């Protein structure tokens, strides 16, 4: 799965959680907490959706890695490619 596809899927997941927010100008670097007020409960939810959509297991310790769009993409990219090997 390429980076763009992963990004698209992540944004779809966030859009599903936050249907009332405009995500068109979401920055990849800035934290999701700053931009969308997402807290630890939301990060857990994003992780749950990753687990469900990408069929990967996520460790609790990894939740801190899901802070920005960029870090989410990197994390998933790594997880998915290590799964397919």
Partner 1 sequence: MNSKEYDYIIIGAGFSGLSCALRLAMFDHKVAILESHSIPGGLNSYYKRKAGKEIIRIDTGLHALTNYSVKGELGTKLFPQILKQFRFSYDQFNLCPQIKSKIILQDQMIEFSNDINFLSQNVKNLFPNHHQEFLNFLEFVKTQNLNLYNAPFASGLEMISSFINNKNLINLLSFPIICYGSCWPKDIDSYLYLSLFKAIYLEGLSRPREGIKTILDLFEEKLKTYKNVDLIYKNQVANLEIQKNAIRVETQKSTFLTKKVFSSIGYPKMKDLLGEKLHKENLSQVSFVEVVFVYDEEKDQAYEETIIFFNESETNIFEQKDVLIGKSAGVICCVENFKSSKKLNKIIKVTFYGNYSAWSKLDKKEYIKNKKTIIDYAKSKLQLYLPKEKRNPVYIDCFTPKTIKRYTSHLNGMVYGSTDKFKDGLFHASKDLILIGADQGNVGITGCILSGASMANKHGLSLR
Binding residues for partner 1 (CB under 8 A): 16-21, 36-37, 39, 41-42, 44-45, 47-48, 51-52, 57-60
- Per DSSP, 30 falls in state S
User: Is 2 or 82 the residue whose CB approaches partner 1 more closely?
Assistant: 82
User: Is 26 or 47 the residue whose CB approaches partner 1 more closely?
Assistant: 47
Q: How far is the CB of 75 from partner 1 (least distance, A)?
A: 13
Token readout for 2 is: 């390429």
Find where tokens 């670097």 sit: 29
- Per DSSP, 67 falls in state S
Q: How far is the CB of 38 from partner 1 (least distance, A)?
A: 8
- Tell me how far apart the alpha carbons of residues 6 and 3 are, in angstroms, rounded to a whole number: 5
């Amino acid at each position: 799965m390429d980076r763009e596809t992963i990004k698209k899927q992540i944004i779809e997941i966030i859009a599903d959680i936050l249907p009332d927010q405009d995500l068109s100008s979401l920055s990849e670097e800035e934290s999701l907490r700053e931009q969308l007020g997402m807290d630890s409960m939301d990060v857990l939810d994003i992780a749950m959706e990753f687990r469900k959509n990408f069929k990967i297991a996520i460790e609790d310790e990894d939740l801190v890695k899901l802070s920005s769009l960029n870090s989410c993409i990197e994390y998933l990219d790594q997880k998915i490619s290590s799964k397919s090997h």
